[in-house]
Structure 1
Amino acid sequence: MAHSSLSRSLVLHMIIILYTVTSSSLSDSEILVQFKDSLVKADALSDWSPSTSPCNGDKENWKGVLCDNGKVWGLKLENMGLKGVIDVETLKELSTLRTISFMKNNFDGSLPNLKKLGALKSIYLSDNNFSGEIPGNAFDGMVSLKKLHLERNRFTGQIPESLGMLPKLTELMLEDNEFRGEIPEFRQDRLKMVNMSNNDLEGPILGSLSKLNVSSFSGNKDLCGHPLESCAASRKLSVGTILVVVVVVVVALAAIVAVFIILRRQGQRPQPEETSLPSQAHKKAASADLDKMEQGGLPDGKRSEQGGKLSFLRDERDKFELADLLRASAEILGSGVFGSTYKAAVMMGSVMVVKRHRKMNNVGKEEFQEHMRRLGRLSHPNLLPLVAYYYRKEEKLLVSDYVDNVTVAVHLHGNHSSGQPSLDWPTRLKIIKGVARGLSYLYNELPSLIVPHGHLKASNVLLDESFNPILTDYGLIPVVNHEHAQDLMIAYKSPEYKQHGRITKKTDVWSLGILILEILTGKFPSNYFRPAGKGDDTDLGSWVISIFQGETTSEVFDKEMGGVKNSEGEMVKLLKIGLSCCESEMEKRLDIKEAVERIEEVRDRDGDEEFYSSYTSEGDMRSSRGLSDDFSLSMNG
């Protein structure tokens, strides 16, 4: 009897082993064809055939497949009209799968059981018809997940609390769904891009999410806490709504009576220069006015030290009043380290950018005005000219022209569903040369400043319609409160400040070097987020050196940088210039003059007919930014 039981046990184990071997022996092509069978209306995948291999080295043979060393590491099945079931049971057999994008299809029903694909780094399921509640533990164990896009579906219920436990999460896009209830606590310090707008969320914003800007939470009327209004203020308003309405009506009627009496006595209407700044109520009443300015609006209530007038720095410019700016149709462009930035359409069709600064309140009026006049005298094709400013002790406004494109940072690292084109090698070289010229001009025109720019980074380099770079946020160190400058400005992230607590004439050159490496590699410089004077020596320059030892290698360059054929020597030359600019030892670092001269010598082609023919095809293959930069990062290590 024991012998019979033992025999049955051995047979059972043999069956299990045989099943496991058989299952694991499926090829990538067989797995993908099986996955295709779970889809409806998969005509776009007609070239998926078991008779061919999906990958040939790093080149894909099948549409929508991304390959690495002959294995499938990504699926990019976007805007194909696909329906049916996303068969995660089959996909989990692809041991090398790291990223999926099924954006802009017709998938519906509940969210697939994604935690069975525990090795994924990026998931893009936006713009489908998924619905229903997501279990709280839906993302348990997905410790590699960096980017999750579920926006523009019909998900309901609470945001899964397991998302707050993912250690590597950097992007979380949940906007335009029907999530409700309170937001779970997120403790990650890596979160950089989060959007929960246009849901039905309520309660306080907790943890690291409180550091985000207002636009991340707009359209949730019952949310409170920083960066929105305080929860205490919110509760007070809800209790006293009727009282507030009564008070507002009474005050409004009293104001109308007062104005009527004044006009009767004076026999004339008040002139514009006699009018004080618009009240907060006035700004909120004008649709899409500059009332979007972070719950506080522009300065209001009191008459400012300048009587509510903008100070213009350029005689050739058409003048407008601060009141015109406040009444202008406006939209928020973003919130940076200094404050919020707004696009405002003022009179005569002029479109301006207004930056609201709250980190300059220790600067005296005369000192501030003199420095603004100095910046107003600057004129260079690669600098965004400062047009006007407004001074108030508590905050300052800087007004510039609007540039109808986006920043270098958006093109390199932005939301890949935004349609921004990839930057090819000639364009990147053009951008770097323009940045170097603008920086050189600042050094020549502002010799008294230790660091003429002080805040040079990809998000402070605008691109016009011809992709010419335009520097912004320059020359502000003298008027920014020192304690804020240390925490916020790039100059204070430099090796010399970390090691010696000081910045020098070569600090901007270090920033230029990091920017060059960022543009060439497509990688984000993590040292931008390191607190002043803290952190280890790991930065973008160290990463480049670790894989680039003076020999030709494609792994260091951004995979989306197409058009690099015949450019190997010049790319490597510029890479070495970038490394020389961001040397941690200042004595070894190039000075600005030498750096600019060497950059100007770089050409967009070097005549080599053979190099990078395969690399070019890879770059072209990934030129569509439908997926995350994780695709290039996973290729780069």
Structure 2
Amino acid sequence: MALNPQYRISRPPGLLIALAILPNLCLTSLSDILPAESEILLRFKATLSNQAALSSWNETRPPCPTGNWVGVHCVDNNVRGLRLQNLGLKGKFKVDVLKDLKGLRTVSIMGNQLEGEFPDFRVLGALKNVYVSDNKFSGVIQADAFRGMISMKKFHAARNRFNGSIPESLVHLPRLKELRLENNKFSGHIPNFEQKNLTVFNVSHNELEGQIPARLVKFNETSFLGNYYLCGGPMGACRASWLRLPVVICVAIAVAAVITIVAALVILRRRKKRKALSAMSPGNTILMTSSSTSSSVTSDLDMLEHGHPSKSRMMPSLSTRRKSHAHNNSTPKLTFLRDDGHSFGLSDLLSASAEILGSGVLGSTYKAVMNNGSSAVMVVKKFAKMNEVGREEFQEHMRWLGKLSHPNILPLVAYYYRKEEKLLVFDYVANVSLAVHLHGGGKKLDWPKRLKIIKGVARGLQYLYNELPSLIAPHGHLKSANVVLNEEWEPQLTDYALSRIVNQEDTQDLMIAYKSPEYKQLGRISKKTDVWSLGMLILEILTGRFPANMIQQGKGVADNAELATWVETLVRENENWKNKVFDRDMMTDINGVGEEEHQEMLKLLKIGLACCEMDVEKRLDIKEAVERIEDVKGP
């Protein structure tokens, strides 16, 4: 039925005006209700127990555009991402404080010390990427933890303390492309992931069991290693599950029987051995190093904190256990890789006076002074994290390294192979490691020495790139403790090219290359990973500060803020940044530092930051890095 025109004309005009302005009234009231993004982020900052790395988060300027507040990524002047990795943040991650950041799509809090239960990211339902790896989160992730998060593409939660089942709601995320849950304690079966776009998947080193789902067998075994009862696909055919309990019982019985037999044999052998030991001459001994030695070895950090190597810890011999040649078919010996006129054998090495220089993540280091009349001084490195490499593979790799020759590479003299431990022998270098002089009781390094060291390190690294093209990271473990200095203060690289023979499960925990941003974010290293390590070393040399990601928590830079981030923030925000960034020892050792020296230091600082670029594509490659370093002028 049509309305009467007269009725429409006679409608009160006030109502028409109200209807016209109602949308604007609604928008105004809504913006009044929602807090500003800066207010939300400052409330979030206040929930953390360690806020030093977020000092740029303050009310003096807004969080956007990108660069105003550290770790805040903006798009169209709105907060789109929080990239707070490796900032030493502590406390609980209270995600509900961020729920009103409607444009938030990425949260990355990797490499911090955040703890507690898994945050309920469902309050940020539009998230696409969540990275929480390398923290201290623990407990069970509830089955429905990702319910409704249909935009989720990437979820990384590796190297935490999660347990229980892998949450079933992950299976129902249609856009999921990357899932990394390795090095936790997840148990039970792997859910039946059917996402066709799933390209990154890693659940290694958990407690999972059962058959790998059909859609996941395309991933190689590194995605599943460390799960004893996992089978199918790359892990091999499954056995009937009912066999497991009888097998365990049988194994337990067998082990008990073996232990009983071995105990009896040991008692008998000891009785016989008492007579043999009394007749054994001192020459009939070989090196059988054991873990007992490491308990008396100081760590690199302890060494540096006390200001010097542990020179007071003298040992009568490198040997920690003796074994008669009567039990061996052949006499163990050192294998020399070069004809440098060294006149000593394994027995000389074992009877040498051994001084403990320190202990790193890969093993212990000794200074050995020969007592055979040659007075040769050698450095012996004992490695215990290489027991998975076979004899032939290890020997081939040693021959490969023995062919390297460069002024900035410490040459490998000899090696000794044993399944449980390996020895590498080098010439002793007079001025010990760079780390001692930067952070311990060594000599102060002036600007000319530091520039010389950086140039030498860069040349040595480029040589490794040229000679070892098959290695993704030719050094893989570049840090100040692995740079030694000769009498002319020329640097020589040590502990290079070891990633191929270090146990695979130990590489990510021990090797510096696996602390890089690309490994933490993407689970891989690249041809530019060593360049990142070079950049960190440059910044360490110029600032005199330890990079926090290379040492234990609590002894790093600026409350464990990433060194590169700390430098960038200080340069950007502090007018007097030169006096705060550059190492005071370097500045005071230059008589009347002029503008020209300052400019060259600044040039080198910028090169270091360019080598530390988080984005691998934007990072310098090794050739460009070396060329730019060579252009820096000394006094």
TM-score (norm 2): 0.49
* Larger Rg computed on CA atoms: 2
